[in-house]
A and B are shown apart, each in its own frame.
Chain A
Amino acid sequence: MNDTILISILMTIVGASTPILLAAIGELIVEKSGVLNLGIEGMMLIGAVTGFAVATTTGQPVLAILVAMLAAMAASFLFGYLTLTLTANQVATGLALTIFGIGLSSLMGESYVGKTTEVFGSWFPSGLAEHPQLRVIFGYSPIVYFSLIMTVAVSYFLRKTRAGLILRAVGESDISAHSIGYSVIGVRYAAVLFGGAMAGIAGCYYSLVLTPLWSEELTAGRGWIALALVVFSAWRPGRLLLGAYLFGAVMTLELHAKAAGFSYVAPEMLAAMPYLATIAVLALISLKKSGASAAPACLTKPFKPNA
């Protein structure tokens, strides 16, 4: 295969994988703390629209990402307040957050439809970033490298740090964690806010790097793919990284198959693959159940200290 085509396909795969990796790494932490936030898609859209609005008005991509992060964190705080403080049902609250995010972002983004902004591109010198071959390593937006660093950091955090251990304890057995004196609600708030921050940056990646423009429902259901990815990875950061690039490759293939009129596999079959693979993994985990790789035991269970 031609080098240039191969390199551009590889770069497309990285582009498709990065936002789902970011959103999923955030959700992984949320779920590890025993909370299921189905509002990823909504938080991503809120991040995407606020980031785009700031970028077009100020021309400052880093500021845009910070604002997007804060906006998505505000949305995740709303989720946290309802589910953690008021012990509302997590599934219903998360779904409401997604519906809310879709609506709010469309409304806020109305006046930005059709505008474009400068791509938030590579920070490496153009000799590297635009080099015909080396661009496959250096030619990405800083968000791409950030997503990889975050994956390593989260993996380290969960396995090697005391705080990571506490987070896992809260997700596996809230009552025991509470009885040895950890604040279950506090830990879960922190996790939910982290999930919001990551979803916000993930959303920004669509509006500032991939497209770079705003249109209604820009993230096109990728938040659900991110959710599937967390489950697919069996709640492990290493597998999450592999899964993100696998899903990214399948999504890229799906687009190429559609464009080329590829007739061996229906593009719809490829589009359904991440979801089918996730169900298969869920079933496989249970079949060889050792207990260690399954879902956090307290997932979706509310916790009330004085109950």
Chain B
Amino acid sequence: MLIELERRKQPSRTMLYLTPVIAVLSTMFAGAVIFTLIGHDGIGAVREIFITPLIDPYKWQDLGIKAAPLILIACGLAFGFRANVWNIGAEGQYVIGGLAGTGIALATWGMEGWWILPLMCLAGMVGGALYAAIPAFLKTRLQVNEILSSLMLTYVSIQLLYYLMRGPWKDPDGFNFPQTRLFTDSQILPEIIPGTIVHLGVPLALIIVLIAWIVLDKSVFGFQIRVVGAAPAAARYGGFSAKKTIWAAMLIGGGFAGLAGIFEAAGPFGQMVPQFPTGYGFTAIIVAFLGRLHPIGIILAGIILAVSYVGGEIAQTSLGLPNAAAGIFQAMMLFFLLATDILVRYRLKFSSTVTSGDAS
């Protein structure tokens, strides 16, 4: 029997929503096979990574604080990806956002007041947006490929972080450890559910994503973003400026990533440390794709990726899998999604070997 691909007249909406589910299920299956082949408990690994975090209520708070930054960053990136603007330096914008907010925190250290925390968040957002403005400027003025420039800037930002931690921003009472002072109570995002680690950044991230959804779906600006990405020529005729769209997409992507950065610094970390870049900016790209560049899809995808993070930690202690095992599952989800993507535009046609024999 042969399988042929036949182009659909219109992309299939069913497949558009079904393929992410197929991708996750295929990942669980293939993951079990791969881990068994390498000599681990394959089924156990899939259970610990995908199921345990969901059925153990104690892990839900971990899911929340891991999903929030992923969802926030991915949502910002989705604006760009829809407009064909490939900002893949969200990790760098996340770091700079965290650093900008930390700068405010260190400057206001020892002070008290309700205004400190909002100022930190504003600084984070502006910091991330300004850092994304560099590739936007290079792209619009000099046609420099934004994929390459934003990626390079990520590594520059990490070195800047190391420099600040080792030198100027080092905690003077910190026994020479390369990290900043602990933020004070006025500089830390409060817990919203007492007794848990769920901080104010989690609901804020969700609210921002929902606002983004409304903007993307209902406003002229959202329409412009989609048109520039899907039909650049039509966008030009319609009077939509490609340059303005690039600027908007980059600033939103950078701003959201920067905000996620300061939420992390003022949330789970409570200070700035060299271990701050945890790869959320890169994982968020998987989230954006898995969520089909749609805010609601991104929320679901963010939770799935958060499950794999938390599950990876569980499997590390219970099965002794290396920390990077979760990465295998995360990458496979994207592989399977990209592979099944073709089902959105093409239809599988099954034909028996007898009839396909005459096809030269």
Binding site for B on A (CB under 8 A): 36, 38, 78, 82, 86-89, 91-93, 95-97, 99-100, 102-108, 110, 216-217, 221, 224, 227-228, 231, 266, 268-269, 271-272, 275-276, 278-279, 282-283, 286-287, 289, 295, 299-300
B339 in contact with A82 (CB, 8 Å):
yes
Chain A positions within 8 Å of B35 at CB level? 107
**Shortest distance from the beta carbon of A58 to any chain B beta carbon, whole Å:** 19
Q: Can you pick out 24 interface pairs between chain A and chain B where the beta carbons lie within 8 Å of each other?
A: A82-B339, A87-B342, A92-B338, A93-B334, A93-B338, A96-B331, A96-B338, A99-B286, A99-B331, A99-B334, A100-B332, A102-B324, A103-B330, A106-B322, A107-B328, A224-B155, A228-B148, A271-B162, A272-B156, A276-B156, A282-B144, A283-B142, A286-B142, A300-B86
The A-contacting residues of B in range 288-346, CB under 8 angstroms, are 289, 321-332, 334-335, 338-339, 341-342
B338 in contact with A91 (CB, 8 Å):
no
Confirm or deny: B163 has a beta carbon within 8 angstroms of a beta carbon on chain A. Answer: yes
A286 in contact with B144 (CB, 8 Å):
yes
Chain A positions within 8 Å of B144 at CB level? 279, 282-283, 286
B143 in contact with A272 (CB, 8 Å):
no
B159 in contact with A96 (CB, 8 Å):
no
Chain A positions within 8 Å of B324 at CB level? 102-103, 105-107, 216-217
Chain A to chain B: the 10 pairs with minimum beta-carbon distance, closest first? A103-B327, A100-B331, A103-B328, A88-B338, A106-B324, A286-B142, A268-B163, A272-B159, A96-B334, A99-B331
B341 in contact with A88 (CB, 8 Å):
yes
Binding site for A on B (CB under 8 A): 35, 38, 40, 86, 88, 138, 142-145, 147-149, 151-153, 155-156, 159-160, 162-163, 166-167, 282-283, 285-286, 289, 321-332, 334-335, 338-339, 341-342
In the complex, besides A92-B338, A100-B335, A269-B163, 7 extra interface pairs with C-beta distance below 8 angstroms are: A95-B334, A99-B282, A103-B329, A272-B160, A282-B144, A287-B142, A300-B86
Contact pick for B159, options A88, A268, A282, A283, CB 8 Å: A268
Q: A99-B330, A275-B155, A286-B142 given as contacts; is B321 within 8 A of A107 (CB)?
A: yes
Nearest residue, chain A, Cβ from B38: A107
A283 in contact with B334 (CB, 8 Å):
no
A92, B331: Cα distance in complex, Å: 10
A36, B341: Cα distance in complex, Å: 19
A275 in contact with B334 (CB, 8 Å):
no
A107 in contact with B285 (CB, 8 Å):
no
Nearest residue, chain A, Cβ from B166: A268
A278, B289: Cα distance in complex, Å: 28
A248, B118: Cα distance in complex, Å: 44
**Shortest distance from the beta carbon of A260 to any chain B beta carbon, whole Å:** 15
Chain B positions within 8 Å of A282 at CB level? 138, 142, 144-145, 148-149
A120, B144: Cα distance in complex, Å: 41
A42, B148: Cα distance in complex, Å: 18
A266 in contact with B338 (CB, 8 Å):
no
Chain A positions within 8 Å of B159 at CB level? 268-269, 271-272
Counted as pairs of residues, one from A and one from B, with CB atoms less than 8 Å apart, the total is: 136
A93, B147: Cα distance in complex, Å: 14
A275 in contact with B339 (CB, 8 Å):
no
Chain A positions within 8 Å of B285 at CB level? 92, 95
A103 in contact with B326 (CB, 8 Å):
yes
A282, B334: Cα distance in complex, Å: 30
A81, B122: Cα distance in complex, Å: 44
Contact pick for B148, options A89, A108, A276, A278, CB 8 Å: A278
A35, B299: Cα distance in complex, Å: 31
Contact pick for A268, options B86, B160, B283, B289, CB 8 Å: B160
A89, B324: Cα distance in complex, Å: 24
Nearest residue, chain A, Cβ from B35: A107
Nearest residue, chain A, Cβ from B346: A86
Chain A positions within 8 Å of B282 at CB level? 95, 99
A91 in contact with B162 (CB, 8 Å):
no
Contact pick for A107, options B88, B147, B152, B325, CB 8 Å: B325
A64, B254: Cα distance in complex, Å: 43
A36 in contact with B334 (CB, 8 Å):
no
Chain A positions within 8 Å of B323 at CB level? 106
A92, B292: Cα distance in complex, Å: 13
**Shortest distance from the beta carbon of A34 to any chain B beta carbon, whole Å:** 13
A4, B313: Cα distance in complex, Å: 48
A91, B330: Cα distance in complex, Å: 16
A236, B38: Cα distance in complex, Å: 41
A97, B285: Cα distance in complex, Å: 13
A38, B332: Cα distance in complex, Å: 16
Chain B positions within 8 Å of A275 at CB level? 152-153, 155-156
Contact pick for A103, options B160, B163, B331, B341, CB 8 Å: B331
A107 in contact with B138 (CB, 8 Å):
no
**Shortest distance from the beta carbon of B215 to any chain A beta carbon, whole Å:** 24
Q: A100-B335, A283-B142, A286-B142 given as contacts; is B342 within 8 A of A86 (CB)?
A: yes
B38 in contact with A99 (CB, 8 Å):
no
Chain B positions within 8 Å of A102 at CB level? 324, 327
A78, B336: Cα distance in complex, Å: 11
Q: Of A86, A87, A275, which is in contact with the most chain B CB atoms at under 10 Å from its CB? A: A275
A159, B321: Cα distance in complex, Å: 49
